[in-house]
């Protein structure tokens, strides 16, 4: 998981979306990151949740390599 500077903070409620649960993103975040409805996002979590736009070029490289370098234990 990469380190990111916190540029904004807001309180959000979990909402029901069909049989799932979701959370809204601030309009300012969507605008600043050129995000649109339907765009794929990557969700990483442990004791915190990190959500960022899915980098399709990064995914393509991992698939071509046949492994996931990020998941390898660091020595």
The upper half-sphere exposure of residue 29, i.e. CA atoms within 13 Å in the direction of its Cβ, equals 12
Q: Chain-centre distance of CA 10, in angstroms?
A: 17
Q: pTM to 2 decimals?
A: 0.58
Residue pair 42/51 in contact (Cβ under 8 Å)? The answer is yes
Structural domains in the chain plus CATH codes: 15-68 (2.10.260.10)
Q: pLDDT tens digits, residue range 25-64?
A: 999 888 888 899 999 998 999 998 888 888 888 877 888 8
Residue 35: Cβ-neighbour burial (10 angstroms; 0-12, 13-18, 19+): middle
């Amino acid at each position: 998981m990469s380190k990111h500077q916190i540029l904004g903070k807001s309180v959000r409620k979990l909402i029901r979306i069909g049989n799932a649960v979701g959370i809204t993103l601030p309009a300012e975040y969507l605008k600043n990151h050129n995000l649109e409805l339907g765009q794929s996002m990557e969700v990483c979590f442990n004791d915190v949740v990190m959500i960022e736009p899915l980098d399709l070029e990064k995914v393509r490289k991992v698939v071509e390599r046949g492994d996931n370098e990020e998941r390898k234990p660091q020595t």
